[in-house]
Structure 1
Amino acid sequence: MALALKDRQQHNYGDYLQWPEDMRYELIDGDAYLMSPAPDLPHQDVAGEIYFQARQALQGKPCRAFIAPVDVRLPKRNEADELIDSVVQPDVLVVCDSDKLDRRGVRGAPDWIVEVLSPSTASHDHINKRDLYQRAGVREYWLVHPVDRILTVYRLHNGEYGKPELYPLEGETRVGILPEIVIAWDELVARLPNDY
């Protein structure tokens, strides 16, 4: 996914809407990143299980869980949709403000975002997306490292993430800003291939 478009032009959501549907991109500050082909099965299993557990925990509550691909537009100010230069597709996200939801996806910062790392996207998710999510005001950002069996958690305090918290992918982990969501890891991790 870390392959920037060769033209080096600055792009916005208006451009993004014109691109072929069979190729997925993300925009970060106007730079277009071509997303790699469909993630591997273990990646999808991890993302799907986190989404499933979050969705069950939020049943009957105002917050809603979503799984990729969902366009999340992150305006810098109050610019029109077509002028937004950051559009991402997090693996799992939760939005508690229904005013941020529309036909096209989400406009504004989700409350909680989860990215499941793969070798080709790890640095992009750790650096570019972390900075973007912090600026946009994502209250809690999780990076799940299935290979290393580690969870990295960033929580927003006074507009900054600060030092992350690290947890093993074992037992249960509660979402700090949404305590009704508790992710159970053991059964999921047991399904992951040993060489993953």
Structure 2
Amino acid sequence: MLEAPQAMLEERRRLGLDHRDEMWDGVLHVVPPAGGPHQRLSTRLTMTLGPLAERHGLVPHMETGLFRAATDYRVPDQSYCRPEHLSERGTEGAELVVEVRSAGDETYDKIDFYAAAGVRELLVVHPGDRRAEVFRSVGGRLLPVQATGGVLGLETLEVELRTGAGVLHLTWDDGSAEI
């Protein structure tokens, strides 16, 4: 682990380069900016899931801090929270968190944090093949959900997900989308 000079950290803050940085139990994790494929996929997911979340009374967020403490927070690609979870610093809980994978990222290392923060479901999407994984809270832990007939369900938004031919298919009661 490297120690960063305080002056460098202050300069990052001043220039606005720290908006994706995370604190893991007081340890700074500098997260690089997402690449084009990651951002395009994340944007399309937000455009699809955002309105569905609002129907369920949830507030969509992109790259907003999810806090357990001032020195313990993560910045998921997307989070969908109840209005009572909103705070000045970001969110203090979430029903659904979405992570779009990037090479070498720490997505899977965040699972225990998300479980401890009370996240009900975690959706992990892989940009290359559009493969999706769902983790659901069971007894305070986020556990992988097994697909049934190739279909995964997001209970929080009442959405079914399946991947075919490099496309993520989402279906809900009165609509569908392909991403």
Interval containing the TM-score (normalised by the shorter chain): 0.7 to 0.9
Q: Does 1:112 align with 2:96?
A: yes
Partners in 2 of 1:57 and 1:89 — Cα distance?
21
Query: 1:67 touches 1:90 (CA, 8 Å); kept in 2?
Result: yes
Which 5+ residue runs of structure 1 have no aligned equivalent?
A: 9-14, 76-83, 191-196
Aligned pairs, number: 159
1:44 is the counterpart of 2:39: yes
User: What secondary structure, in the 3-state scheme, does the structure 2 residue paired with 1:45 have?
Assistant: helix
1:126 aligns with 108
Distance 1:49 1:65, change over 3 A: same
Give the match for residue 172 of structure 2: none
Q: Is the 8 A contact 1:66 1:93 kept in 2?
A: yes
Partner residue in 1 for 2:73: 87
After the TM superposition, which residues 20-35 of structure 1 pair with which residues of structure 2 at under 5 Å, given as runs? 20=14, 21-23=16-18, 24-35=20-31
Q: State the superposition RMSD in angstroms.
A: 2.9
Question: Which TM-score applies when normalising by structure 1?
Answer: 0.68
Give 5+ residue unaligned stretches, structure 2. Answer: 169-179
Paired residue type of 1:25: D
Distance 2:162 2:43 in 1: 13
* Kept in 2: contact 1:113–1:141 (CA 8 A): yes
Q: CA offsets per residue over residues 105-160 of structure 1, 9 Å max, x none?
A: 21x22110010001120xx1112x11111222211011111224321211001111
Counterpart AA for 1:7:
E
User: Could you state the TM-score of these two structures normalised by the residue count of structure 2?
Assistant: 0.74
Contact 1:111 1:140 in 2 (8 A): yes
1:78 match: none
Higher relative contact order (CA 8 A, sep 6+): 1
* Aligned residue in 2 for 1:79: none
